[in-house]
Amino acid sequence: LKYCSAINNDGTRVVVGSQSQNRAGINIWDGTQWTSSNITNTGAFGYAVSLNMDGTFLAVSARTANKVYFYTWNGSSFVVKNAVSITGDVNQYGRALALNSSGTTIVISANYFRVTNVDLGAIYIYNINFSTGLATIAGTKLPLICNVANAQLGGSIAISSD
Q: What digits encode the pLDDT tens for the residues 26-69?
A: 999 999 999 999 999 998 899 999 999 999 999 999 988 889 99
Judged on CB neighbours under 10 Å (0-12, 13-18, 19+), 17 is: buried
Query: What percentage of the chain exceeds 90 in pLDDT?
Result: 44
Section 96-104 average pLDDT? 91
Helices (H), the chain: none
For 64, phi and psi rounded to 5 degrees? -75, -15
Section 109-116 average pLDDT? 68
Q: What pTM did the predictor assign? A: 0.85
